[in-house]
Amino acid sequence: SRVRSTPLTLYSSMANRVCLICSVPITVAHLGIESCRACAAFFNRTQVAGRKFACRQGERRCSIRKHEKFMCRSCRYDRCVELGMTYLLPPKKKPRKN
């Protein structure tokens, strides 16, 4: 008889992984740290645009949990940098051949 793995035993090592930025569950790391795709995309977009954000409360220590109604972008970006998230350069476009 075949032994079937349940998702709980098969993925038990992944069950405790959360995004270090916003605390949502994750299965893979992005940009060099344990982060969700949304936080990785936010970090890359911010890097590409060269944007600077003002802290919502002015104290630079806002809660940046995913389930908060409005996440402070300044504190979210600062947390990405603090944890060592690395910018992923976009792939270079190849010149078209006519």
- Domain ranges across the chain: 11-82
Band (pLDDT 50/70/90 cuts) for residue 55 is very high
The torsion of the CA quartet 74, 17, 84, 47, rounded to 10 degrees, works out to -50
- What mean pLDDT comes out for the span 47-57? 91
Strand segments (E) across the chain: none
Q: Is the pLDDT of residue 27 over 50?
A: yes
C-alpha distance from residue 72 to each of 5, 18, 95 (Å): 41, 19, 39
Q: Is the pLDDT of residue 80 over 90?
A: yes
% of residues, the chain, pLDDT over 90: 40
Domain 11-82 CATH assignment equals 3.30.50.10: yes
- Which is higher by pLDDT, 1 or 46? 46
pTM over 0.75: no
Q: Is the pLDDT of residue 63 over 90?
A: no
